[in-house]
Amino acid sequence: MAERSERASPDPTPPTRRRLLNGLLGGSLLGWIASALYPVLRYLSPLQQASNADEVELDERAKSSLAAAGFSILALGSERVLVLRDPRGNLRATSAKCTHEGCTVQYKADEAIIWCACHNGRFDLDGRVLSGPPPRALAVYKASGTLETRVVITRESA
C-alpha cells in the first residue's frame, strides 16, 4: 500500500525561483503576443452588419439628439447617416460622409446647410454641393415618420 501512495503523490521537487521566473516570463511573453495580434485580427475581421441593413429606426437617444441639436448621426449597416430636421420641420437624411475625404459632416441649422469641417465643404439640404472641394453630392436617404411616433431611414432614394 505504501507503493500506491508514492505513485499517486504529485511531483516531490519543491518550487524554485528559476521555475517561478520561467513561468512569469512565459506568461508575459504570451500576453505580449496576444496584445500584438489582437488589433491585427480585429482589423482583418469583417464588420458586423445590422440584421436589416436597408433600414434603421431611430431610438430614443437619437430622437432626443435630433430634437435638441437639430440633427443626429446614426449607422445604417456600415454607413453613417445624418438625419436632420429642416427649417420647415420636415425630416431629411443624407450620407454623413463627405465625398471629398470622408470626414463626418454636420448640420448647421442657423445657415440651413450641411457642413464639412475638414475643408469647409458646404452642401444644401438635398445633399448637393454648394461650395468647397467635395467632387459630388451626398447620397440621399428616405426619412419617414415623425419624432412623436416612429422614424425610419431607408436606402431608397428620397
**What dotted CATH number matches 55-154?**
2.102.10.10
Categorize the per-residue pLDDT at 5 as very low, low, confident or very high, splitting at 50, 70 and 90: low
The pTM score is 0.64
Mark 102-133 as b/e (b = at least 16 C-beta within 10 Å). Answer: ebebbbeeeeebbbbebeebbbebebebeeee
Retrieve residue 76's grid coordinates.
445604417
Specify the residue for cell string 500584438.
Answer: 36
For the chain, domain boundaries: 2-44, 55-154
Residues 11-70: pLDDT tens digits?
Answer: 667 788 888 999 999 999 999 999 999 888 888 877 555 455 678 888 888 888 888 888
At 55 the pLDDT is 80
- φ/ψ of 4, rounded to 5, equals -65, -40
Residues 69-112: pLDDT tens digits?
Answer: 888 888 887 788 899 888 888 889 999 999 888 888 988 888 88
Residue closest to 59 by CA, chosen among 142, 143, 147, 141: 147
